[in-house]
Structure 1
Amino acid sequence: MKSASLAEIRRMKAAGELSSSNDAAEGAPDGEDLDRDFWDNAKVEEPRVSATRPVLLKLEPEVFEFFKKQGKGHVSRMQAVLKAYAKAHR
């Protein structure tokens, strides 16, 4: 994303360097033409249904901080610990 002054935006618009979805005369830019071969081989993809369920889980601060300090992926690590616990107690 780039910031620009109002004067720069007006200059860019006058030069045809900007397009707007509100500008009915210009419309959206043309996309890539897709040939018959593309459509013959196209497949409908069903959305993936997540096997997980979102929940609100209240944790004691020291438990959360323990996992968080280990870096990115702390929620996945908490999930792995809970999954291992459940498996061990079945």
Structure 2
Amino acid sequence: MTISRKRLEELENIPESAIDTSDIPELDANFWPKAKFVTPLTKQAISLRVDSDVLDWFKSQGKGYQSLMNAVLRSYVEHHIKKNHEV
């Protein structure tokens, strides 16, 4: 799903007092001793051959289609890693 520039501008203009944060716990001193720095995963450019209809579908999803393809592949990998650890 892509968010339009107009929608992003609308969200930017919402005053903080109008944002409901009641479901987000406040961070207190107990948070920081357990906090861990997480380095983002690096991406690697590759050349990949996929069926043209598959690529067309992902491209039709709009900007960020390559990230969407990565997310689908990640979900597949995580499912199989979890499945193999349950055996």
Give TM-score scaled by structure 1 length.
Answer: 0.44
Q: Which has the higher helix share?
A: 2
Give TM-score scaled by structure 2 length.
Answer: 0.45
Highest RCO, 1 vs 2 (Cα 8 Å, sep ≥ 6):
2
Q: Which has the larger radius of gyration?
A: 1
